[in-house]
Amino acid sequence: MIPVGMVAQNFTEVQTGMNNFYYSAADIADIDNNGTLDIVFNGAIDSDGDGTADVTYNEVYKNSGSAMSLYAGLEPGSTHLGDIRFIDYNNDGLQDIISAGLSYLDVVNYKHYRFRNTGSGFVKESSLPGKIYGSLEVFDFNHDGRSDYALNGTQYSHGGGFRNTLDYYKNTGTGFEMTENWVDGTQNGSFKVLDLNNDHLLDLVVIGSDINGVPVSKIYINQGGILTNTQDFEPLASGKIEFADFNADGFQDLLVVGKDDNDTGYFAVLMNDGTGMFTVHQLNLPDISDPSISVGDINNDGYYDFIISGNEGNAIVKTYLYNTDSQDFTEGVFTGLYHLGGPGFVHLFDFNNDHRLDVLLGGFDWSDPNMPSLTKIFKNTSTGVNLKPTPPTSLNLTKNGNRYNFAWSGATDDKTPVNALRYEISVGSVSGGSDIAKYIVTTPSWFLDLDPSVQNIYWSVRSIDASRTYSDSSAENNTLGTKDIAHSQYLGIYPNPASEKVYIKGEKVSEAEMYSMEWKKMNITLNDDQSVNVSHLPKGVYLLKLKIKDEVTIKKLTIK
């Protein structure tokens, strides 16, 4: 008998007519805002049918909801053995593209390209030195609403040999400014930029081999804009990272798979204690090389699971389902998926908008003596019902100088716990617009530091469940919850983090209220000495709302 929560997931292949890509990477986004997810591929193809890749070839395919069709090639400027990402770098509502790798036309000069989405195709705007054996990530590190990115991997510098760097590209609105070797880079590894301690500042996790071939695995916490290495875990020479709030406690956990310096497999979930420190739970799972991983609710129980592809003596694809009772993972049961090995990719995404996760899979077919590399989509045909989440109902906006603080609550889902929901925040200069910012965050609050010329904004939020199903948009908000705060710069709270009591220094505070990041009011008392006892509150990040005369300011407090 199959245990509860372990009902077999059934998949069937979608005939797409897409090219089969070798040494490939892919990314998924809605490039034309029609409500379906489209795909871009970075890789090479076998143009003459001799079983060997010979032409670097990158393509974008549009999704009709039932089929894929070729939309555009990225020529000139194709790469393989690298990575590719969608990014709306000019905030015009159209997804642009960044790619990196090498070309069979020039295997020495690794390249890195930016392509602008014109609405009818893509135009190459930048050609820069690139990297191989690396990865790309998109994020807004400085909270200005513009998407930045970072590129990790191996670069060949003529006259200087090979080097591994992780370079940060800050979006200025008119271009990008590069910080070379933002942190020490790696090859054959992975990195993620995310908020690990719910303080709204983006942190960094990186694994892989350094320039001397030494494996590393490092966690960097953002301390006032400076990335500080706070924890190391099992050093990995190669591998992949993903993140999800597996146990729905409101904090992002890390999934790590790879190989150590002895070529021994490593498989672990790093559970987040809420302060950005992690406890390693090593999983008794297969020794997999050339892995690819993707997270999402595979069995439709509301909790994040994961899928992995790679090589375990032959090609494998496996799913692992989170068990809420044991807080561990159990191998899932499925039918209909090919077993394709690495190097390749696997992505969970909702191909046909039925609120169930489908699979995009690429890699080598070990069952064929010629070992072709295939690219396939498999539709989830399981019968489980997943309702889309409800949007937030309570939006709150405060402003301190040029900093806009956003908070919201009221979102619910039929299966995904509220703590595990993610959110898409859209901010525009006009009603219905998103020209200031639009991206996904993992907390029910965020902030933007905007140019002083911005005088009025309109914003809304969509909630996202573990199956990557979006809610409708919340009601639009453009009302400040408080006056612009003149006294904020004269107030401080200490210690922060705190465990017993926090003190407010500066001007006399007449009222104090504390809220969770979900905007739930906590039970606190403001003492005569301007202190607040917090020993009874669970660890986490809170908002301390302080009133001075007729004005209000909000301070962020971590309780450890």
pLDDT band at 203 (very low <50, low <70, confident <90, very high): very high
Mean pLDDT of 352-362: 97
In the prediction, which pLDDT does 486 show? 46
In the prediction, which pLDDT does 490 show? 54
pLDDT tops 50 at residue 552 = yes
pLDDT band at 315 (very low <50, low <70, confident <90, very high): very high
Residues 508 and 551 in one domain: yes
Mean pLDDT of 236-260: 95
In the prediction, which pLDDT does 551 show? 67
Mean pLDDT of 257-267: 90
Residue 488 to residue 509: CA distance in whole angstroms: 11
297 or 556, which is more confident?
297
Closest CA to 471 of 418, 378, 392: 392
In the prediction, which pLDDT does 485 show? 44
Mean pLDDT of 59-80: 93
Residues 455 and 496 in one domain: no
Q: How many residues can be counted in the chain? A: 560
Mean pLDDT of 5-34: 91
Closest CA to 243 of 253, 251, 233, 234: 253
Residue 277 to residue 180: CA distance in whole angstroms: 27
Mean pLDDT of 361-366: 96
% pLDDT > 70, the chain: 95
Domain-embedded: residue 345: no
Geometric angle at alpha carbon 472, from 471 and 477, rounded to 5°: 115
349 or 213, which is more confident?
349
Q: Which amino acid is at 440?
A: I
10 Å CB burial of residue 551 (0-12, 13-18, 19+) is middle
Residue 331 · residue 278 · CB < 8 Å: no
In the prediction, which pLDDT does 6 show? 60
Closest CA to 42 of 287, 451, 343, 386: 343
Mean pLDDT of 352-356: 96
Residue 130 · residue 112 · CB < 8 Å: yes
Domain-embedded: residue 209: no
Structure tokens at 244: 């999800």
Residues 402 and 460 in one domain: yes
Domain-embedded: residue 14: no
Number of domains in the chain: 2
Structure tokens at 388: 């889309």
pLDDT tops 80 at residue 319 = yes
Residue 361 to residue 346: CA distance in whole angstroms: 5
Residue 353 to residue 376: CA distance in whole angstroms: 18
Residue 336 · residue 10 · CB < 8 Å: yes
pLDDT tens-digit series, residues 77-122: 899 999 999 999 999 999 999 999 999 998 888 999 999 999 999 9
Task: List C-alpha distances in Å: 472 to 17, 382, 552.
Answer: 32, 24, 31
Residue 488 · residue 553 · CB < 8 Å: yes
Residues 496 and 460 in one domain: no
First to last CA, the chain: 44
Mean pLDDT of 135-142: 97
Domain-embedded: residue 170: no
Residue 100 · residue 77 · CB < 8 Å: no
Q: Comparing 116-120, 177-181, 347-351, 492-496, which segment has the lowest mean pLDDT?
A: 492-496
Mean pLDDT over the full length of the chain: 91
pLDDT tops 80 at residue 501 = yes
pLDDT tens-digit series, residues 430-463: 999 999 999 999 999 999 999 988 888 999 999 9
Domain-embedded: residue 554: yes
Domain-embedded: residue 405: yes
H or E element in which residue 359 lies:
strand 358-364
Mean pLDDT of 509-538: 86
pLDDT tops 80 at residue 184 = yes
pLDDT tops 70 at residue 52 = yes
CA 492 to chain CA centroid, nearest Å: 32
Q: Domain of residue 447: give its range.
A: 393-464
Residue 70 · residue 64 · CB < 8 Å: no
Domain-embedded: residue 414: yes
Mean pLDDT of 24-47: 95
pLDDT tens-digit series, residues 467-480: 999 999 999 998 77
pLDDT band at 1 (very low <50, low <70, confident <90, very high): very low
What's the 3-state SS for 319-363? Answer: EEEEECCCCEEEECCEECCCCCEEEEEEEEECCCCCCCCEEEEEE
Query: Please, what sign has the CA dihedral across residues 306, 209, 80, 42?
Result: positive
Domain-embedded: residue 147: no
DSSP-assigned beta bridge partners for residue 503: 494, 531
Residue 511 to residue 65: CA distance in whole angstroms: 53
Residue 542 to residue 97: CA distance in whole angstroms: 37
In the prediction, which pLDDT does 210 show? 87
Domain final position from 464, 483, 501: 464
User: Phi first, then psi: what are they for 489, rounded to 5°?
Assistant: -70, -15
pLDDT tops 60 at residue 489 = no
* CATH number assigned to the domain comprising residue 537: 2.60.40.10
